[in-house]
Amino acid sequence: MKNSVRFPHLYRAPLFADLPEDQITKIIDGCAVQMFDKPTQVLTQGEPAHGMYMIAHGSVEVTCINAEGQSVLIHVMRQVEIFGEVEVLAEKPCAASCSTAANTTLLYCAKPLLYECVKSPVFLRNLMRVSYDRLVRDNTVKFVDQFYPVVQRLCAYLHRLSVDKAEISKTQSDLAGMLGCARQTLNRELGRLRDRSIIEIEKGKIRVTDRSALLRIASESDLRDGKHVN
């Protein structure tokens, strides 16, 4: 069975906008299918990338180690998103690490195929549009991380991590590192969310029970003025 038959939803990916169907088929069929039944790191910060990945099913977490050695969650990529292409084309080491969630399927576009693809002006334009959208998203995240209080950043992270399922397999130490805050501060804010029945806390896991409340808290303007919602 051809990849194009197995992954028809990928034809609607932003990377393939305005490309002829036969060209999309050729690209998809030229990619290797990689399936991961458990979380797996596929790109490592500081190491070279040898090809571009597209998410066919599942999700991928993008994390970065900062100067203090903290692991910071940059983004959770979803179906049809791509990664690794910038490092390959720029011949630079990976700017961040990328790890799949369990039950994730990726298409791997090796460097020679990617070089062939960028000969198409339309494909190259789409690639630049994807990069542009990332810049806009990352600028927004940087603004939130710099100016918003811990509770807002925490709710934004939990909302982002619970898109696919309510249960988040992150320890409190993991989350404290991502948020760049003290463990005691994180525990206090998690306790407040638990007391409001927005989350449930288990050993090594957090279960989100009210995603709409997380989104509301993450976007509340009064928290930016140092006020806390009870």
* Structural domain ending residue among the three candidates 144, 163, 189: 144
Same domain, 82 and 102: yes
Sheet holding 205-208, edge to edge: 167-168, 205-208, 199-202
How many helices (H) and strands (E) the chain has is answered by 9, 11
* pLDDT tens per residue across span 162-211: 877 888 877 777 788 777 788 889 999 999 999 999 999 987 789 999 99
Q: Locate 163 and state its tokens.
A: 């898109």
Q: Domain span at residue 154?
A: 148-225
Q: Which of 108, 46, 105, 52 is nearest to 79 (CA)?
A: 105
* Structural domain ending residue among the three candidates 118, 144, 170: 144
* pLDDT tens per residue across span 106-151: 999 999 999 999 999 999 999 999 999 988 877 666 655 556 788 8
Q: What is the pLDDT of residue 145?
A: 59
Kindly report the pTM of this predicted structure: 0.73
Q: What is the pLDDT of residue 230?
A: 44
Same domain, 125 and 152: no
Q: Residue 172 maps to which CATH number? A: 1.10.10.10
In a domain, 76, yes or no: yes
Total of domains in the chain: 2
Q: What is the pLDDT of residue 143?
A: 56
Average pLDDT score over residue span 40-49? 97
In a domain, 230, yes or no: no
